[in-house]
Amino acid sequence: MEIRLEINQFQHVVNINPGEKLLTVLRCLGYYSVKHGCESGECGACAVLLDGRPLNSCVFLAAQAEGHLIQTIESIGQRPEKGWKVTSGLHPLQEAFVELGAIQCGYCTPAQVLVAKELLDRNPNPSEAEVRDALSGVLCRCTGYLKPVQAVLRAAALMRGESIEPLAGDQSAFPIGEDQSGDLIRGDVTQPHAPSPQLPVTSTRVFPKVLVLPQTERLHTVGKPEPKVDAIKLVQGKPAFAADFEPRNLLYARVLHSPYAHACITQINASKARQLTGVAAVLTWQDIPRVVYSTAGQSDPIPGPLDTFSLDNKVRFVGDRVAFVAAESEAIAEQALKLIEVTYAPLPALLDPRQAMHPDAPRIHDEPEYVNFADSDPSRNLAAEIRIDIGDVERGFAEADYIFEGEYQVPKVQQAHIEPHVALTYWDEDDRLVIRTSTQVPFHVRRQLAPVLGLPVKRIRVIKPRIGGGFGGKQEVLIEDVAAHLTIATGRPVLYEYSREEEFIAARSRHPMLIRMKTGVKKDGTITANEMRVLSDTGAYGCHALTVTGNTGHKAMALYVGDGPYRQKPNIRFYADIVYTNHPPAGAYRGYGVPQGYWAVERHIEKIARKLNLDPLEFRLKNAIRPGELHPFSTAWSEGREPRPEIIATNGLEQCVQQGKAAIGWDQKYANPEWRRATRKPYLRRGIGVAMVMQGTAIPYLDMGGASVKMNDDGSFNLLVGATDLGTGSDTVLAQMAAEVLGVPLEDIVVYSSDTDFTPFDKGAYASSTTYISGAAVVKAAQQVLERIKLRAAQMINAGLGLGQKIDQEVEVGDIQVAERRAFVPDGRYLTLEMVARHALHQQDQEQIMAVASHVSSVAPPPFAAQFAEVTVDIETGQVMVDNLVMAVDSGVIVNPLTASGQIEGGMTQALGYAVCEEMVYDDKGRARERNLRDYHIFQANEMPQLETIFIETYEPSHPFGVKAVAEIPMDGVAPAVGNAVLDACGAQIDDNPILPEKVWRALKLSPESA
Ligand code: FES
Ligand code: FES
């Protein structure tokens, strides 16, 4: 049918199918700011304004939109100064989102801005609650909503004509001062979160408090809250993501997924599907080469078994692949799936990991091509096994006055990035296969897929555009092969994008684990031995099996080494069996096994402290690892590689505790029965809890990042990095480091990441390594370029060029200082960098000033944190309301407080779901209960507790700017801190998260007196 649509005041006449949704039509017309995040009206990424009111276009028929005014973000906020369409410039909302760091991946941003615009159009002076309500229809998995809410409030104030303090980019807005104890600080100190009628509401709340180091005071760009380098295009909804590009002749891929948890495919007949008009190809296991591989995006050799095929004649979980279809439209592809005739011979399904290694258990991997790694043993359904004994654990137990044992459980949960997995493949004019994909690991995709596709690496080019969130879910070579096989089969471009249901049934997730703890403690609170035994369910395939679960012990069991002589010789045991089951495979998820470990460790430690009547903070600090001590696991395990000793150089945990407890009011609240019951409602109890955590920063001797820096005619620089900014802001912090070294403002660094054809290798975005590893590579490359600039500047000056008159005495290279876009000689005269660049490129002894460098670290310096939580528990229903989360973090030097605090806020929010509501449950046939974002609840803007981030800077000596990791550590402590706060509030001991009302209610039924 033909319809007329008025979009952003342009008339369009389009031919559509009657059932076509408005989202599909808008994207076909090139309105790529309207995003696909689900198909059922839950995420809000597809929001547009229809006659000025927000509407989810994925559930609205295009035909219904005829006669209405449709508005998308493309209609507002051009940038005339950039020479684009002349309009009034960025909308104040867009300006505020950019300035306040409200954009991380930016996938939800156009929708957030649109719904906020609708709010401000009808209510120019909204309260924070009204803003949160308005944003609640747009899910954001990255930000924790704090900065978007503040951005809307700030824009509202600006639009009302109120005067508002300048923010990001204005150094005076983020000055260094001293607090009462004399510590150097940046950011708001006194009232970071309490809205005050005297203060403009947006004046300080987005800036974290940062306890800064004196050596960072002199820096110009590092340490400053610079707006993200990609923020403007994202807030404008520019076509920056993988699916925002549709070549001609595009085919759409769909996959037939298994309805059985475990079955052989005895027959498969695709002839009817192939005959359907509009179908270009149907591929089954009979049609493609049988190449075994691992989907885990990791360096070579993959530290895990090879146990996966693109398509197989056996299915191992509900959702496993059976066939691929490429067709002229998604609807035709869906129809074709129904015409594929498959005969399955069901096999007994293994759904309980505790049964996996039983001799009678069904065997999941019996294929002859299976390639073992280390101790994997498919005959016992064992994907990996870890046995680590540090010190003499049995002796440690014998020396203890008390032994404490406990069993803990953690569920399978989903990354739930709002942009689904998406890949677009096509042959280029040189017959090379281009894979444009939303991936965290472009170089691993190229290397790992080459044998699967039967192509040499050199015939594959992987382009990573902006990524709409990944959280580890895109550290998987998950769907690129589907599109690639279909492009090879048809010769045509193919787009494959997961539906939200596919994200739940066929993507990766966090490993669920059963964890047993045993701890020996002396009467004075000294830990003498600590043991963790883990049963980890990797699901049907062993991707990341060894390394995720290894990190559970490596990071969570390294924190408490004991005190006194035990500090020198801690006794720690970590045993893990990582088993196959017929559940969907687990994989990488932000935190990479560590949140599981800390749920057990920190719940267990809390119980010990309470049993022995020890102060929970002092007990923890007494036993925690300190600077100058050996990381106990560093000589025992290194992700399947040779371990090497590593000394902890910096640890700001004590200051984290001090700052965190002051911010949350620990001393006034902990063990205070009056505070606990101080509400007007007798059925409510308040509680406070803590967890201490450490993570890692990259994988030593393995993770490598490369960077190249090239000088342009105008003295600006191209920075090319293979590192992958998945919304974390890594492009920005890498550019800040380059700008700092090269003495230019951030705007003079043009960053590009990443494309396997022309950016240097980088292992990708995982293990919290980008700022540390890739950042060091950027600094090295920038320093080499700086030396070339100084050399040429000295030559020019000595030749009498540029300064007007010859200098009396020859200058040495070492005399030249580069700052403020200039190369200075000691008397204060200077050449501009543009003069140096033009001289180099055009005038004399011409050369391209350029350098490439790479970096590998010999250490993985851990960040540390103290996580505090405050809750209110309804003891009649078991409902837990988390009121406040405070996280004090030692992540080394903070390169950008806005992006770093955004990481902490977003991470705490994701971890909050892990604490109280997120889990993936399967029935006795292995079928998922959660298949959409309605059943799988992630936090909305109007459900959030107060969030506060405090950074305690330490100077990590192994990095040129002293940085450590920030991205993963906020995942680790929230769940146990909330669990400990619930215990404090009402005495309910919840050992398996999430802490659902039913569990609390049942626990209180068993011991009501504790409440
Ligand atoms: S894409 Fe429409 S609500 Fe998710
Ligand atoms: S910034 Fe909101 S989903 Fe990423």
Ligand 2 neighbour 240 (Cβ under 6 A):
no
- Give the Å distance between the CA of 47 and the centre of ligand 2: 14
Q: What are phi and psi of 836, to 5 degrees?
A: -65, -45
Ligand 2 neighbour 885 (Cβ under 6 A):
no
390: left (phi over 0), alpha (psi -120 to 50) or beta: beta
Ligand 2 neighbour 140 (Cβ under 6 A):
yes
Does residue 968 contact residue 536 with C-beta atoms inside 8 Å? no
Ligand 2 neighbour 108 (Cβ under 6 A):
yes
- Give the Å distance between the CA of 107 and the centre of ligand 2: 5
Q: Which three-class secondary structure state does DSSP give residue 856?
A: strand
Count the alpha carbons within 13 Å of 506 in the hemisphere toward its beta carbon: 23
How does the average pLDDT of the chain come out, rounded? 93
Convert 600-634 into a string of H (helix), E (strand) and C (coil): HHHHHHHHHHHHCCCCHHHHHHHHECCCCCECCCC
The CA distance from 333 to 274, in Å, is: 10
Ligand 2 neighbour 107 (Cβ under 6 A):
yes
Give the other-Cβ count within 10 Å of 799's Cβ: 12
Instruction: Answer whether residue 250 shows pLDDT above 60.
Output: yes
User: What angle (nearest 5°) sits at the alpha carbon of residue 386, between those of residues 381 and 392?
Assistant: 145
Ligand 2 neighbour 142 (Cβ under 6 A):
yes
**Which ligand is closest to the CA of 902, given by its number?**
2
- Give the Å distance between the CA of 493 and the centre of ligand 2: 28
Residue of 538, 472, 537, 416 lying closest to 935 (CA atoms)? 416
Residues in the chain: 1011
Question: What local confidence, expressed as pLDDT, does residue 194 receive?
Answer: 41
pTM summary value = 0.95
Ligand 2 neighbour 727 (Cβ under 6 A):
yes
- Contacts by 671-675, CB closer than 8 A, 24 or more apart: 671/984
Mean pLDDT over 260-287 rounds to 98
> pLDDT digits over 705-740, tens only?
999 999 999 999 999 998 888 888 899 999 999 999
- Give the Å distance between the CA of 419 and the centre of ligand 1: 10
Mean pLDDT over 169-193 rounds to 56
β-bridge mates for residue 881, sequence order: 872
Pocket test for ligand 2, best of 107, 149, 940 (most atoms within 8 A of CB): 107
Residue of 528, 549, 636 lying closest to 595 (CA atoms)? 549
Beta-sheet pairing, 572-580 with 527-539: parallel
- Give the Å distance between the CA of 418 and the centre of ligand 1: 9
Does residue 849 contact residue 782 with C-beta atoms inside 8 Å? no
Ligand 2 neighbour 111 (Cβ under 6 A):
no
Closest approach atom of ligand 2 to CA 727 = 4
Beta-sheet pairing, 314-315 with 494-497: unpaired
- Give the Å distance between the CA of 111 and the centre of ligand 1: 10
175-195 per-residue burial string, b: 16 or more CB within 10 A, e: under 16: eeeeeeeebbbbbbbeebeee
The CA distance from 259 to 758, in Å, is: 42
Instruction: Answer whether residue 501 shows pLDDT above 80.
Output: yes
Does residue 887 contact residue 865 with C-beta atoms inside 8 Å? yes
Question: What local confidence, expressed as pLDDT, does residue 199 receive?
Answer: 43
The CA distance from 818 to 23, in Å, is: 51
The CA distance from 518 to 508, in Å, is: 31
> pLDDT digits over 189-215, tens only?
333 344 444 444 444 467 889 988 888
Instruction: Answer whether residue 556 shows pLDDT above 80.
Output: yes
Question: What local confidence, expressed as pLDDT, does residue 200 receive?
Answer: 43
Strands of 263-269's sheet in order across: 314-315, 263-269, 341-346
CB proximity list for 557: less than 8 A, separation 6 or greater: 530, 532, 572, 574, 597, 601, 632, 633
**Which ligand is closest to the CA of 102, given by its number?**
2
**Which ligand is closest to the CA of 21, given by its number?**
1
Chain centroid to CA 886:
20
Can you list the positions of beta strands (E) in 212-284? Answer: 251-257, 263-269, 279-283
Q: What are phi and psi of 626, to 5 degrees?
A: -125, 165
- Give the Å distance between the CA of 34 and the centre of ligand 1: 9
- Give the Å distance between the CA of 872 and the centre of ligand 2: 28
- Give the Å distance between the CA of 974 and the centre of ligand 2: 20
> pLDDT digits over 360-397, tens only?
999 999 999 999 998 899 999 999 999 999 999 999 99
The CA distance from 735 to 752, in Å, is: 10
Closest approach atom of ligand 1 to CA 47 = 2
- Give the Å distance between the CA of 807 and the centre of ligand 2: 55
Mean pLDDT over 657-676 rounds to 95
Handedness of CA 322, 328, 332, 336 (dihedral sign): negative
Instruction: Answer whether residue 831 shows pLDDT above 90.
Output: yes
Closest approach atom of ligand 1 to CA 43 = 4
Residues with CB under 6 A from ligand 1: 36-38, 41-46, 56, 58
The CA distance from 131 to 116, in Å, is: 7
> pLDDT digits over 441-483, tens only?
999 999 999 999 999 999 999 999 999 999 999 999 999 999 9
Residue of 366, 367, 383 lying closest to 375 (CA atoms)? 383
**Which ligand is closest to the CA of 468, given by its number?**
2
Question: What local confidence, expressed as pLDDT, does residue 98 receive?
Answer: 94
- Give the Å distance between the CA of 668 and the centre of ligand 2: 36
**Which ligand is closest to the CA of 37, given by its number?**
1
What is the 8-class DSSP label of residue 841?
Answer: I
Give the other-Cβ count within 10 Å of 217's Cβ: 11
CB proximity list for 614: less than 8 A, separation 6 or greater: 525, 608
The CA distance from 498 to 469, in Å, is: 14
Q: Which three-class secondary structure state does DSSP give residue 502?
A: helix
Residue appearing with tokens 């006055």:
401
Question: What local confidence, expressed as pLDDT, does residue 197 receive?
Answer: 44
Q: Which helix (H) or strand (E) segment is 685 a member of?
A: strand 684-694
Give the other-Cβ count within 10 Å of 1011's Cβ: 18
The CA distance from 953 to 176, in Å, is: 13
Question: What local confidence, expressed as pLDDT, does residue 196 receive?
Answer: 44
- Give the Å distance between the CA of 243 and the centre of ligand 1: 15
Q: Is 163 exposed, middle or buried (0-12, 13-18, 19+ CB in 10 A)?
A: exposed
Mean pLDDT over 149-163 rounds to 93
**Which ligand is closest to the CA of 110, given by its number?**
2
Beta-sheet pairing, 864-874 with 880-890: antiparallel
Of 205-219, 232-246, 490-504, 578-592, give the lowest mean pLDDT range. Answer: 205-219
Question: What is the band of 85 on the pLDDT scale with cuts at 50, 70, 90?
Answer: low
Percent share of the chain, pLDDT over 70? 94
The CA distance from 547 to 303, in Å, is: 7
Mean pLDDT over 933-946 rounds to 97
Mean pLDDT over 291-311 rounds to 95
C-alpha distances in Å from residue 95, one per residue of 46, 79, 80: 21, 11, 14
Closest approach atom of ligand 1 to CA 36 = 1
Of 228-242, 803-817, 983-997, give the lowest mean pLDDT range. Answer: 803-817
Residue appearing with tokens 């929708």:
111
Residue closest via CA to ligand 1's atom 3 equals 41
The CA distance from 869 to 130, in Å, is: 25
Give the other-Cβ count within 10 Å of 627's Cβ: 12
The CA distance from 295 to 307, in Å, is: 9
Ligand 2 neighbour 539 (Cβ under 6 A):
no
Pocket test for ligand 1, best of 50, 56, 419, 504 (most atoms within 8 A of CB): 56
Distance between first and last Cα of the chain:
64
Chain centroid to CA 240:
18
Q: Which three-class secondary structure state does DSSP give residue 568?
A: helix
Closest approach atom of ligand 2 to CA 468 = 4
Q: Is 834 exposed, middle or buried (0-12, 13-18, 19+ CB in 10 A)?
A: middle
Mean pLDDT over 843-859 rounds to 94
- Give the Å distance between the CA of 140 and the centre of ligand 2: 4
Question: What local confidence, expressed as pLDDT, does residue 724 receive?
Answer: 85
Ligand 2 neighbour 467 (Cβ under 6 A):
no
Mean pLDDT over 561-586 rounds to 97
- Give the Å distance between the CA of 44 and the centre of ligand 1: 5
- Give the Å distance between the CA of 500 and the centre of ligand 1: 9
The CA distance from 951 to 211, in Å, is: 6
**Which ligand is closest to the CA of 106, given by its number?**
2
The CA distance from 178 to 211, in Å, is: 9
The CA distance from 109 to 115, in Å, is: 10
The CA distance from 448 to 543, in Å, is: 13
Ligand 2 neighbour 231 (Cβ under 6 A):
no
The CA distance from 698 to 764, in Å, is: 11
Residue closest via CA to ligand 2's atom 4 equals 105
Closest approach atom of ligand 1 to CA 44 = 3
Instruction: Answer whether residue 766 shows pLDDT above 90.
Output: no
- Give the Å distance between the CA of 104 and the centre of ligand 2: 6
> pLDDT digits over 89-138, tens only?
799 999 999 999 999 999 999 999 999 999 999 999 999 999 999 999 99
Residue closest via CA to ligand 2's atom 2 equals 140
Ligand 2 neighbour 141 (Cβ under 6 A):
yes
Convert 507-533 into a string of H (helix), E (strand) and C (coil): CCCCCCEEEEEEEEECCCCCEEEEEEE
- Give the Å distance between the CA of 53 and the centre of ligand 1: 16
Residue of 984, 994, 1006 lying closest to 873 (CA atoms)? 984
